[in-house]
A and B are shown apart, each in its own frame.
Chain A
Amino acid sequence: MSTATAARRPRSDTHKWAPYAFISPFFILFTLFMLVPIGAGFYLSLTDWAGLGSPEYIGFANYTRLLQDPSYGAALVNTAIYTVFALAVVLPASLLIAQALNTRGLKLRDFFRLTYFMPVVLSPIIIALIFGLIFDGEYGLLNAVLEALFGFGGVSWLTDPFWARTVVVVLVLWRWTGYLTIFFLAGMQAVPRELHEAAEVDGAGPVRRFFSITLPQLRPVTAFIAVTMLVNTAQIFEEPFLLTQGGPGESTLSLSMFIYRAAFQRQELGYAAAAGVVMFIIVFALGRAGSSALGVGRTR
Chain B
Amino acid sequence: MTIDRRQLLRLAGAAGLGTGLLAGCTASEEGSAIASGPIDLKLWTHDPGYATYFTGAASDPDLVGGSPWTYAVDVTSIAPADIVSRLVNQAVAARPLPNLAGLVIDQFPRVMRAGIAQNLFVDLTSLTEPLGDQLLKTQPYTVDGKVYAIESDNSVSVMYYRADLFAELGIPADVATWEELLGIGAEVAAETGQAIGMVSNGDNGAIVNGFAQMLLQRGGNLYDADGELTVLSDESIEVLALMAEGVRSGALLSITDPYGGAAAAALKDSKLIATVMPNWYKVYGLEANVPDQAGVWRARTIPAFAAGGHIASTMGGTAFAVLKGQAETDAAVDFLQRTYLTPEGQLARYGAGAYLPTLVDLYDTPEFQQITDPYLGDQRILEVYGAGANDMPVFYQAAGASVLRDSLGGPLLRAIHGQADPEEALREGLRAYERQAPA
A53 to B116 alpha-carbon distance, docked (Å): 9
Count: A-B pairs, CB below 8 Å: 115
Set of chain B residues within 8 Å of A99, measured between Cβ atoms: none
The answer to whether A267 and B113 touch across the interface, beta carbons within 8 angstroms, is: yes
- Is residue A139 contacting chain B, with contact meaning CB distance below 8 A? yes
0 or 1 for each of A47-76: is its CB under 8 Å from B? (1 = yes): 011111100000001000100111110000
- Given the known interface contacts A137-B256, A161-B410, A245-B204, the answer about A51 and B262 at a Cβ–Cβ threshold of 8 Å is no
- Given the known interface contacts A136-B262, A159-B256, A266-B403, the answer about A247 and B436 at a Cβ–Cβ threshold of 8 Å is no
0 or 1 for each of B400-420: is its CB under 8 Å from A? (1 = yes): 001100110111011000000
Residue of A158, A247, A266 touching B402 (CB-CB under 8 A): A266
**Stretch with Cβ within 8 A of B (4 or more), from A30-38, A80-88, A89-97, A248-256:** A248-256
The answer to whether A250 and B88 touch across the interface, beta carbons within 8 angstroms, is: no
A265 to B406 alpha-carbon distance, docked (Å): 12
Instruction: List which B393-439 residues lie within 8 A (CB) of chain A.
Output: 402-403, 406-407, 409-411, 413-414, 431-432, 435-436, 438-439
- Is residue A291 contacting chain B, with contact meaning CB distance below 8 A? no
- Given the known interface contacts A50-B115, A267-B88, A267-B116, the answer about A136 and B435 at a Cβ–Cβ threshold of 8 Å is no
- Closest CB of chain B to A173's CB: distance in Å? 23
- The residue among B111, B114, B431 with the most chain A CB atoms within 10 A of its own CB is B114
- The residue among B92, B256, B438 with the most chain A CB atoms within 10 A of its own CB is B256
Set of chain A residues within 8 Å of B436, measured between Cβ atoms: 65, 68-72
Beta-carbon nearest neighbor of A61 in chain B: B439
Set of chain B residues within 8 Å of A265, measured between Cβ atoms: 81, 84-85, 110, 402
- Is residue A239 contacting chain B, with contact meaning CB distance below 8 A? no
The answer to whether B116 and A138 touch across the interface, beta carbons within 8 angstroms, is: no
Q: Chain A's interface: helix, strand, loop or mixed, by majority?
A: loop
- Is residue B134 contacting chain A, with contact meaning CB distance below 8 A? no
- Is residue B77 contacting chain A, with contact meaning CB distance below 8 A? no
Set of chain A residues within 8 Å of B254, measured between Cβ atoms: 137-138, 156, 159
For B, the interface residue count at a CB cutoff of 8 angstroms equals 42
Interface size classification for chain A: 35 or more
- Given the known interface contacts A161-B410, A247-B410, the answer about A50 and B114 at a Cβ–Cβ threshold of 8 Å is yes
Residue of A136, A249, A264 touching B204 (CB-CB under 8 A): A249
Set of chain A residues within 8 Å of B265, measured between Cβ atoms: 138-139
The answer to whether B402 and A138 touch across the interface, beta carbons within 8 angstroms, is: no
Residue of B119, B406, B439 touching A52 (CB-CB under 8 A): B119
Beta-carbon nearest neighbor of B115 in chain A: A53
The answer to whether A71 and B119 touch across the interface, beta carbons within 8 angstroms, is: no
A-B contact pairs, 8 of them (CB 8 A): A51-B91, A71-B407, A136-B262, A139-B261, A245-B204, A250-B204, A265-B85, A266-B110
3 tightest A-B CB contacts, nearest first: A249-B410, A50-B114, A52-B119
In addition to A249-B410, A267-B114, 6 A-B residue pairs with Cβ atoms within 8 Å of each other are A50-B113, A70-B436, A71-B432, A248-B204, A250-B410, A271-B438
Chain B interface residues (CB < 8 Å from chain A): 81, 84-85, 88-89, 91-92, 110-111, 113-116, 119-120, 201-204, 207, 254-256, 261-262, 265-266, 402-403, 406-407, 409-411, 413-414, 431-432, 435-436, 438-439
